[in-house]
Amino acid sequence: MQPLRERLMTRLLTAEGYLSGTEVSQDLGVSREAVWKHIRALRREGFVISASPRKGYLLLDVPDVLHPGVVLPSLTGAFGRPYHYHGVLSSTNDRAKELAHAGAVEGTVVAAEEQTGGRGRRGRLWHSPHGGLWFSLILRPTVSPAEIHTLSLLVSLAVVQGVEELLGIRPDLKWPNDIILDGRKAGGVLVEISAEAEQVHYAVAGVGLNVNITFFPEELEAFATSLKIYTEKETCRARLLGVILKTLENSYFRWCREGFAPFLKDYKERLCCLEKEVVVDDAGRVFGGVVLDVEAGGRLVLGLPDGKTIHLSGGEVTVREGSGP
């Protein structure tokens, strides 16, 4: 069962009008004094709650937190249950891998307000201060390790579709899974798996999205952006998380059955590097060429200056100056 504070928050968030102190204390099986104690604690966390001796409690404003009491009411599917919440964590992917190793079920989510050791692709550090959306989802896909490659593309597509649904803006994607606004990186996806030759034990899909962040360290300033910088508005991260998880859940089970092919059109429509001149750095092997296509298996098809075509499974794409983002 959820802790009392979360159940109280859920009641406040879903109440139509005032929540009677007597009724809620009976429902939750605690004294009215205990309810009042938790109301005061919630106020200290930034919740604005009006208390009237005759009418009860009325929630007037919710702080931008990823607390389960705020997130759980916005979840409509199975993804996000169980939900593990941390104020500060080294890396949600690391914690999710520990949980997955210990048997956590598919759909389990680990979220943190802040990461001190957030990790990006290719062993890079991921800047993860308060205000971003940093979470990891445990999946147990019944696909072979060879088929898992497109999962990160699928996750990045669900993230931009979720952003579009909630905010009405349409971020681009840069192969394989960078989330781009105005040519700058607003987010990314890091999928890590545990597998044997024939079987995937689990996959952890880590999502990092710069939501309400406005300052970046000097070395990132020229390349990074956020939803807040782009929209000039704060976004409710709890609602965004709910929408992204729902979108991903809808596409994930189809991907398990049919692979990435049904999603390729939507993915390619959002791709900012298609038909652009790029440089691809694939673990030190550097290729210049034009992006011709992305295959259903997730590989990038690059046309080289000598007319040859190569197919790349991984790499860092930089779109050449004057050729687009």
Which residues contact ligand BTN (rule: CB under 6 A)?
91-93, 115, 118-121, 124, 126, 128, 134-136, 178, 188-190, 206-208
Q: Least distance (Å) from ligand BTN to the CB of residue 129?
A: 11
Q: Least distance (Å) from ligand BTN to the CB of residue 101?
A: 16
Q: Least distance (Å) from ligand BTN to the CB of residue 193?
A: 14
Strands 83-89, 109-115: pairing is parallel
Residues 120, 129: Cα–Cα separation, whole Å: 14
Q: Which of residues 136 and 225 has its CB atom nearest to ligand BTN in the complex?
A: 136
Q: Which of residues 126 and 263 has its CB atom nearest to ligand BTN in the complex?
A: 126
Determine the residue with CB nearest ligand BTN.
188
Q: Are 158 and 248 in contact (CB under 8 A)?
A: yes
Beta strands in 156-299 (DSSP E): 172-174, 178-181, 184-195, 200-209, 277-282, 285-294
Residue 101's Cβ-count burial label (10 Å; 0-12, 13-18, 19+) is exposed
Q: Which of residues 126 and 175 has its CB atom nearest to ligand BTN in the complex?
A: 126
Q: Least distance (Å) from ligand BTN to the CB of residue 313?
A: 16
Residue 123's Cβ-count burial label (10 Å; 0-12, 13-18, 19+) is exposed
The region that residue 268 occupies, defined by phi over 0 for left and psi between -120 and 50 for alpha, beta otherwise, is alpha
Q: Which of residues 6 and 178 has its CB atom nearest to ligand BTN in the complex?
A: 178
Q: Least distance (Å) from ligand BTN to the CB of residue 258?
A: 26
Q: Which of residues 92 and 108 has its CB atom nearest to ligand BTN in the complex?
A: 92
